[in-house]
Amino acid sequence: MITTPEDIEKKIDYRFHNRSLLITALTHSSYRKENEGICDDNERLEFVGDAVLDCVVGEELYRILEGQPEGKLTKTRALAVCERSLDVCGKRLGLNGAIRLGVGESQSGGSEKPSIIADAMEAVFGAVFMDGGYDNARRVILDVLDEILKQAVKGELFTDYKSEFQETVQRKGCVTDIKYVVDSFEGPAHDRTFHVHIELDGKPVGKGSGKSKKSAGQDAAKDALERLKEGKDVF
């Protein structure tokens, strides 16, 4: 189902002064490459949206989780703003029917890829911030993430394996450096699979794959946690 920019404005209850910002937020790099010089893609707005999202959610959790330690705030925010959460929110808004994709990306099912939808969701937040400032961006973000935040605070969201693994490592207190290393990727630009492994002080402890670096990192963290539960040597 096709979703128009006007539909998105209605769903987030924000009318853009400069609607071209919203259109850019809904433009994937694959579309820009096929229309060179005609339009920009959403990567720069995604960068802005990511920063604003972290700030807004961090501020809200500081207020809601009064008295909770930094670790609890960090874990809850990571769950609320992760790729899977943003994918869920984006699909609720119909972003999958609004994103402009290149022909190849569209044919490979790009409109349903969590990484593409999550990036577009961040770009929309960035577009609102650039168009209307922090207060408008804050309102839109909290409205869009309302259910996600409630679930995250209650601990009812899906597992963020990267945060769980980091907490496990910190509890052990014997590791000083955690790195997620991209080993390789395969497939065309519009349909890549990334392969990642985790290193603890240079020692490989888990590996994973995914359609984005973020999801591959989550898969690698899950693998490392499973190795720990099975009693395998990780530390």
Q: Are 152 and 76 in contact (CB under 8 A)?
A: yes
Catalytic residue among 7, 9, 40, 50: 50
No. of H helices and E strands in the chain? 11, 3
**Token duo for residue 127:** 């577009």
Residue appearing with tokens 């020692």: 203
Distance CA 46, CA 128 (A): 11
Closest by CA position to 3, among listed 117, 144, 107: 117
In sequence order, the 6+-apart residues with CB closer than 8 A to the CB of 139 are 14
Distance CA 106, CA 30 (A): 9
Distance CA 16, CA 180 (A): 38
Has 50 been annotated as catalytic?
Answer: yes
Catalytic residue among 122, 131, 219, 223: 122
Has 233 been annotated as catalytic?
Answer: no
Instruction: Tell me which residues are annotated as active site.
Output: 50, 122
